[in-house]
Structure 1
Amino acid sequence: MADTPGQRRFKAFAVVLLSLVVAVTLYPFVNVLAQSFSDATSIAAGKVNLVPRGFNVDTYRVVMSDRDFWVGYRNTVFYTVVATAISMVLTTCFAYATSKRHLKGRKAFILFAVFTMFFNGGIIPNYVLITSLGMRNTVWAVVLPSAISVFNVLVMKTFFEAMPEELEEAASIDGLNTYGILLRIVLPLSKAVLATMLLFYAVSHWNSWFQAFLYLDDKDMFPVTIYLRNMIAGVSSTASSGAEASDIGMISANIQSVTMVLIVLPIVCIYPFIQKYFVSGVMLGSVKQ
């Protein structure tokens, strides 16, 4: 059946509107990428928009020869893997348990979790707590304070609540206990929401810098986001890499762009492989059926 004139106009309007939204969204990323391949003179003159001017890769050479950058990159990968694994285990267990209506104290657990979304102790009490627990200058100070996102718990809980109870009842009759049902029945059917939560946590932990900035003193434990923070703050550690002073001056205008590109690159490469789960996972976990 052919579209009516009104439907064609609406589709044309939707295409134009979404194209504008995509253009506005992509512009900052393309601009940063163009600056990373441009020379300092062109950037300072404001000539760089979407296309590199005065193409050069000297900045990449200097940044990638900096030991601090690669140490931070290694730390970030380690922190992200450990923190994401902990977050997924805790979030899945909490969400699955609170999705069961027969759980005693279920409402109290949910209210307690939601309460923490709006109220927390603040920076100073958290700092005192982490210090008193002896976790300063350890990996646990980075990965544990943000181990659970209540928003992610609620999304996953809603997803579990929408699953047919008959599946678990049948598995229980076949002799599976609670852990067996979770591992062999529930989780294999929850790939969409698990992939979504995995992406949420991985991106969050990859981009995190404040906790490391607050609780870590050892430079060899800093994540790469602290390296980028120092670039933005003007406290570049490039000078410690043994680069020539002239090189440092030459790349000072676009070193931030290069660092941002190198930091975001892994996420950009991984996202297409789990994008198909992303939308379906959020929708299934956000709308109660």
Structure 2
Amino acid sequence: MKESMSRTVFTRFNYLFLSLMGLIMLLPFLHILAGSFSSGNAIMQGKVTIFPIEFTLLNFKAVLNDAAIWRSFGISIFVTVFGTAINLLLTSLMAYGLAKTDLKGRSFLILLVLFTMIFQAPMIPSYLVVKDLGMLNTLWSIMIPNAISAFNLIIMMSFFQRIPKDLLEAARIDGCGEYRTWWKIALPMSLPAMTTVGLFYAVGHWNGYFNSLMFIRDSSLFPLQVKLRKLLVESDAEAMMQSAELTLSSIEGIKMAAIMVATIPILVIYPFIQKYFTQGAMLGSIKE
């Protein structure tokens, strides 16, 4: 009875604590959302909290009328879709190979993978490698250097190891080579893992910022996150404000509206993909 009472108190405390933490994390978002729909004067006077003051759509009008925003938006979509496809292809191929226990040098290769999880490549060598490969100032520099994530590779490898060996042997007896077995047998049976890993990669590409900032100098190739930074810390917001013929006090509102434009796609799809993120941490960790 005592143990049951203690567990109940502990559970309620956890719910209360996590609810409080969730509220604290939600407040900045609500403030940005309210500011994006508020007038510049209300923002500058500090009247905006979590509800819009002097409701207006001028901030979003200024952002959406900027051709550079739409170009950056399109680049982010392209990098997310095409980059995720490259990620899934290379990760699944490598994971399929490492899932074979009879692979020569398997332990050493897995050790190298784990090493990359602990020690990241230094910035200057990474820049020199990208430059020598001729990818500098191209979209390839965003997608290729991080084409395989060690964490996602381990998830895929663990899932491939759950495929019955008898099924793979039957495919080989029927004349399937390794690539055909991977394509016809392993991938269809690993759709849950592929979906989860693909979502991890896609969100990473959409929120990607550092590689774009380091490898790309052509402003016409900036993805949305880099464009957002320029709006927040450089003079791009002022130029946008002048083109939209807004008052000086609307700069902060424009910045908040730009943040919302960059965030909305994730907010729209997240309720539908939340379960895959929840399952992702444990996916493949328990063998049947």
TM-score by length of 1: 0.88
User: Do the aligned residues in 2 keep the contact of 1:192 with 1:281 (CA within 8 Å)?
Assistant: no
8 Å CA contact 1:193, 1:282 repeated in 2: no
- Partner of 1:30: helix, strand, or coil? helix
Match of 1:272? 271
Match of 2:262 in 1: 263
Q: CA deviation at 1:86?
A: 0.8
* Aligned residues of 1:193 and 1:278 also touching (Cα < 8 A): no
Once the two structures are TM-superposed, the CA of residue 281 in structure 1 deviates from its matched residue by: 3.4
Does the Cα contact within 8 Å between 2:237 and 2:251 map onto a contact in 1? Answer: no
The residue aligned with 2:129 is: 129
Give the Å deviation of 1:160: 2.0
Q: Which residue of 1 aligns with 2:71?
A: 71
Aligned to 1:181: 181
Q: Given residue 270 of structure 1, which amino acid in structure 2 is its aligned partner? A: I
AA aligned to 2:269 is I
Answer whether contact 1:228 1:260 (CA < 8 A) is retained. yes
Q: CA offset at residue 104 of structure 1?
A: 1.0
SS in structure 1 opposite 2:41?
A: helix
> Percent identical across equivalent pairs?
38
Asked if 1:57 is matched to 2:57, the reply is yes
Partner of 1:243: 243
Give the deviation of 1:76 after TM superposition: 1.1
In structure 2, distance between residues paired with 1:207 and 1:154: 22
**1:229: how far off?**
0.8
Q: SS of 2:185's equivalent? A: helix
Rounded Cα–Cα distance in structure 2 between residues aligned with 1:221 and 1:181: 39
Tell whether 2:69 aligns with 1:83. Answer: no
Letter of the structure 1 residue corresponding to residue 252 of structure 2: A
Q: How many residues align?
A: 286
Kept after mapping to 2: 8 A contact 1:63/1:255: yes
Deviation at 1:287, TM superposition (A): 4.6
Match of 2:140 in 1: 140
Q: How far does residue 45 in structure 1 lie from its aligned partner after superposition?
A: 3.2
Partner Cα distance (1:189, 1:276) in 2 = 19
Q: Return the TM-score normalized by structure 2.
A: 0.88
Counterpart residue identity of residue 96, structure 1? Y
Of 154-163 and 72-81, more deviation after overlay is shown by: 154-163
